């Protein structure tokens, strides 16, 4: 009954329909040089975009990391490429997400232990195996007024995305089971 009321409300007010804002794919190597270049190439093949290299914030001698040394690469996907990437990656985790993966704003994150589990990716001994973190930001249209630099303004509580709304949206769009 409540789902029908929510669905009718969304049809009347399209600004209440959630959307996937962005997908951030992080591949942390922990070393610079050749391993980071290989990871960068893997991420470029998977997403079709050039990754950005991120530097270490501080020195950790035990891990052999120096401050300012590039140790990971990141790609941000938006709109349709983001949805296509999620549809390619979610079967690796059997299209199941934990309820605890969602935060208070309805965003969620999950990780992959091996990139070779993604369909269409073959193992190359010269490249190796990399794990990755995938963070998905879900919001409603109009959220930009809250985060922009110039002329920020308040977004009412009724317009903020709740985890339950996000879960329903993700189930419908990506056909994911929440456990």
- Residue 102's contacts (CB-CB under 8 Å, 6 or more residues apart) are 108, 163, 166, 167
Confirm whether 92 is domain-assigned: yes
Confirm whether 65 is domain-assigned: no
Q: Which long-range contacts (CB under 8 A, 24 or more apart) does 59-68 make?
A: 63/30, 64/31, 65/30
- pLDDT at position 9 is 61
Could you give the number of structural domains in the chain?
A: 1
Confirm whether 64 is domain-assigned: no
Confirm whether 48 is domain-assigned: no
Please state the separation of Cα 158 from the chain's center in Å: 25
CB-based contact 93:111 (threshold 8 Å)? no
CATH code of the domain containing 162: 3.30.1440.10
Confirm whether 107 is domain-assigned: yes
User: 130 lies in which domain range?
Assistant: 17-26+75-178
Residue 121's Cβ-count burial label (10 Å; 0-12, 13-18, 19+) is: middle
Confirm whether 59 is domain-assigned: no
Question: What tokens appear for 45 in the block?
Answer: 């093949």
- pLDDT at position 8 is 59
Each of the 179 residues of the chain gets a pLDDT tens digit; together they read 456 655 556 567 778 888 899 999 998 887 778 888 888 888 888 888 999 988 888 888 887 778 888 888 999 999 999 999 998 898 888 888 888 888 888 899 998 888 887 878 888 888 788 888 999 999 888 778 787 888 888 877 878 888 888 888 888 888 888 88
Tell me, yes or no, if the pTM score tops 0.75. Answer: yes
Confirm whether 2 is domain-assigned: no
Confirm whether 166 is domain-assigned: yes
- pLDDT at position 135 is 93
């Amino acid at each position: 009954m409540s789902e029908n009321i929510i669905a009718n409300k969304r049809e009347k007010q399209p600004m209440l329909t959630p959307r996937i804002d962005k997908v951030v794919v992080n591949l942390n190597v922990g070393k610079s040089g050749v391993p980071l270049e290989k990871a960068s190439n893997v991420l470029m093949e998977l997403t079709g975009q050039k990754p950005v290299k991120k530097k270490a914030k501080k020195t950790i001698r035990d891990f052999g990391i120096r401050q300012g040394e590039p140790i990971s690469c990141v790609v941000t996907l938006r709109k349709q490429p983001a949805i296509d990437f999620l549809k390619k990656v979610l079967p690796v985790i059997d299209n199941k997400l934990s309820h605890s993966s969602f935060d208070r704003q309805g965003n969620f994150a999950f990780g992959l232990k091996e990139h070779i589990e993604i369909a269409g990716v073959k193992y190359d001994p010269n490249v190796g195996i990399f794990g990755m973190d995938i963070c998905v930001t879900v919001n409603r249209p109009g959220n930009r007024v809250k985060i922009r630099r110039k002329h920020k303004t308040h977004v009412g509580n009724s317009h903020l995305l709740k985890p339950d709304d996000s879960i329903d949206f993700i189930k419908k769009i990506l056909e994911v089971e929440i456990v």
